[in-house]
Amino acid sequence: MTLDARHIVFDNVSKFYGEVLGVNKVNFSLEPGITSLVGPNGSGKTTLMNLLTGLIKPSHGAIYVLGLTPQQPVEFFRQVGYCTQFDSFPPGTNGYDFIYWPLRLHGFGHNQARKLTNEALERAGMAPVAQRKVAGYSKGMRQRIRLAQAIAHHPSVLVLDEPLNGLDPMARAESIALFEAIAKQGMHVIISSHILEEVDRISDCVVLMSSGYVVAEGQIKEVRREVRDHPMQILVRCSNAAKLASAAFELDHVVEAKILADGQSVLVRTRDAEQFSLLLNKIVSSGLVEVDAVAPADDDVNSIYQYLIGSDGGPA
């Protein structure tokens, strides 16, 4: 793979902690936009982010962020902001100092650093409590002050490890809007999260991880194509679920037909959605069953994730 000033490149990256596998043979290239890392605890998401930002070093392979590596920290960390999952802070610090002093280390003068600090505090909604000690913050506030620090120097690459953890719905919505706004400016935003619905909605690209391996990577629809050998799920709401399920079972390509708890819906897993649609048309025109709604049940990250690794992708 080549050094690229726009992309984030993982070139055959592996990380082992002694005998324990962190991530193995990771190869991908990310374009600007929002990329989500999805996987259960221990799947290697944080390891991948720590490798990306140089907190740990790869056992094999190389990582390039906009053509730079963490071995060039002065140039690298002007471009990269990382909001880690570590919920710890320098003792005795307040919210303002927590952002101001790292900016001074970037080389900004007092006035510039003050301006950037205030701007970051405003963007993260932390300005009113900036002078309070971080030790007295709630979990959500600590999450937001870390986010403020990560975005304060206007990085081109923003890496966020579980950034929505501990946030109330309002703060979560505001954070997501902030990520989208940053991505629209042509920046990279890399997010790991267990909240799949939200990740699904805002992501331009997903990287699915399991046990240290990248099991799929690309746009959601591309990832879906990668797993087209797996049966597709279709949810049908109808007047007679039992009759529909029994008719579906007669088709060879239907793997499963499950009547859901409401008694009005059938979840069908089929290898040939087109043939199943024809069956539905036939049933409806014969008047045996009235169909209220038909919807694909698996065009989101969560269901793709189920296909891929046999788990719901929720917190382990």
Summarize as ranges the residues that interact with another protein (CB under 8 A): 17, 50, 53-57, 73-78, 80, 82, 84, 86, 88-92, 101-102, 104-109, 112, 115-116, 119, 153-154
Residue with smaller CB distance to another protein, 115 or 228: 115
Nearer to another protein, 76 or 213 (CB): 76
Residue 128 Cβ, how far from another protein at the closest point, in Å?
21
Considering the complex, what minimum distance in angstroms separates the CB of residue 10 from another protein? Answer: 18
**Shortest distance, CB of residue 155 to another protein, whole angstroms?**
10
C-alpha 73: how far from its chain's center? 26
Report the C-alpha gap between 218 and 9 in whole angstroms. Answer: 14
Give the tokens for residue 292: 């209220």
Of 151 and 254, which has the nearer Cβ to another protein? 151
3-state SS class at 133? strand
Q: How far is the CB of 145 from another protein (least distance, A)?
A: 12
Query: Pick from 278, 280, 85: which is nearest to 194 by CA?
Result: 85
CB of 154 to another protein, least distance (A): 5
* DSSP track, 264-309: SEEEEEES-HHHHHHHHHHHHHHTSS-EEEEEES--SHHHHHHHHH
Q: Which of 312, 146, 303, 134 is nearest to 227 (CA)?
A: 303
Q: Which two tokens stand for residue 266?
A: 């059938």
Q: Which is nearer to another protein, 45 or 153 (CB)?
A: 153
| Residue 134 exposed, middle or buried by CB count within 10 Å (0-12, 13-18, 19+) | buried
Determine contact, residues 147/165, Cβ cutoff 8 Å: no
Find the shortest distance in angstroms from Cβ 312 to another protein: 26
Q: Which is nearer to another protein, 108 or 179 (CB)?
A: 108
Residue nearer to another protein on the CB measure, 90 or 287: 90
